[in-house]
Structure 1
Amino acid sequence: MIQELIVVEGVDDVAAVKKAVQAEVLPVHGFAVKSKKTLDKIRFASERIGVIVLTDPDHAGRTIRETIEKAVPNVKHAYISRKEGTKKDNIGVENASSEAIIAALEKARFKLVENTQEFSLADMDSYGLSGASGSKERRQNLGQLLRIGYGNTKQFLARLNHFGISRDELEKALSQINKRV
């Protein structure tokens, strides 16, 4: 599994990257990247596991890349060529082959890590993050507090493990959430 968070423009790009490699991928939804919430997620990932930016080979992609780099200077960059990202008149990461995406990421020098499993689906149940009344809201609040974002049970579990959240960190955050209620 690739250690770094891979930042892309949209959900079609997420699908293309996940088809090529095993990684955590964050879509910034185009120019929504300028939101404080999105940039905070990228900053946190940069501090915790590293970030690779892989945007479309066009003007919008360059602008998004520059916005991210200005806010989080230590990100890595992966590039696909216009030729690799073009299908008919559409330019984007989603059009690139898995081979082109892998080659771009290799040039950015990603790190491979073991897929750690600190937490399991049983933990999600025992912490009330799955299958319980209010579990969705608990994941939302916890994701915000831990700075890993919201996800369904499976996505949230993957983020807890990928971002290396410790059991102690999780339990402290849950304690804070429980005090609010």
Structure 2
Amino acid sequence: MIKEVIVVEGRDDVTAVKRAVEAECIAVGGFGINAKVIERIKEAQRRKGVIILTDPDFAGEKIRRIISKRVSGIKHAYISQKEGIKDGDIGVENASPEAILRALNNAKITVEEKQELFTLQDLIYFGLSGDNNAKERRDFIGRELGIGCCNSRQFLSRLNNYGIPKEEFKAALKKLEEKEKGE
């Protein structure tokens, strides 16, 4: 598994990256980079490191510059226009798994053994999955940990891939419980 979180433009790019490697990805949604997305990228950089892999076009370079100005110390991966073009459309989503892997290797990825500190049973036990209030509870914990709001499967993946320590998770749970008692 790649240690760093890979930042791409959209969902199709995430799919292409996951065909090539096992990694956590953040899709910025094109030019829709808002403060929440930047905070997630900063948190990913703090915890694991970040590699930007955007489309080899003007828009991709502009997105790369926007992120680079706001998040320091990130790595950059590049595919060529030739590797990213298909039927006149240019983008990471069109690149072969080999081209993506080559770009990531050139960015000096770090490979680490995948750790699974958290399981689906943990999410169920703490009311973060399979409970009427699970979504609201995940959203609160996700904000506390800086990993964002998402469904149970993605939440579990982020807990493990961002390397969230059990102590930090328990501290966020405690804040949630205190909030729920106060309501």
TM-score range, shorter chain: over 0.9
Give CA deviations for 1:120-167 in whole Å, capped at 9, x if unaligned.
111111111111120011111111111011221121111111111111
Deviates more, 1:58-67 or 1:131-140: 131-140
For the residues of structure 1 that align with 2:72 and 2:172, how far apart are their CA atoms? Answer: 28
Which residue of structure 1 lines up, in the alignment, with residue 61 of structure 2? 62
Residue 30 of structure 1 and its aligned partner are, at CA, apart by 0.6
Q: Aligned partners of 2:139 and 2:174: how far apart in 1?
A: 15
Distance 1:64 1:77 in 2: 12
Which runs of 5 or more residues in structure 1 are unaligned? none
- Cα RMSD (Å): 0.8
* Cα distance in structure 2, aligned partners of 1:89 and 1:144: 40
Q: Look up the match of 2:3.
A: 3
Give 1:78's aligned residue: 77
- 1:163 maps onto 2:162 in alignment: yes
Amino acid corresponding to residue 17 of structure 2 in structure 1: V
The amino acid of 2:21's aligned partner reads: V
Q: How far off its partner does 1:73 sit?
A: 2.1
Which residue is 2:143 aligned to? Answer: 144
Aligned-partner residue type, residue 17 of structure 1:
V
Task: State percent identity of aligned pairs.
Answer: 51
* 1:115 and 2:109 aligned: no
Superposition map of 1:46-57 within 5 A: 46-57=45-56
2: distance between equivalents of 1:66 and 1:112?
26
| 1:62-106 Cα deviation digits (max 9, x unpaired) | 000000100012100000000000011101000000000000000
In the alignment, the residues of structure 2 paired with residue 40 and residue 85 of structure 1 have an alpha-carbon distance, to the nearest angstrom, of: 28
Amino acid at match of 1:172: A
Structure 1 consecutive aligned stretches of length 4 or more whose deviation exceeds 6 Å? none
TM (normalized to structure 1)? 0.97
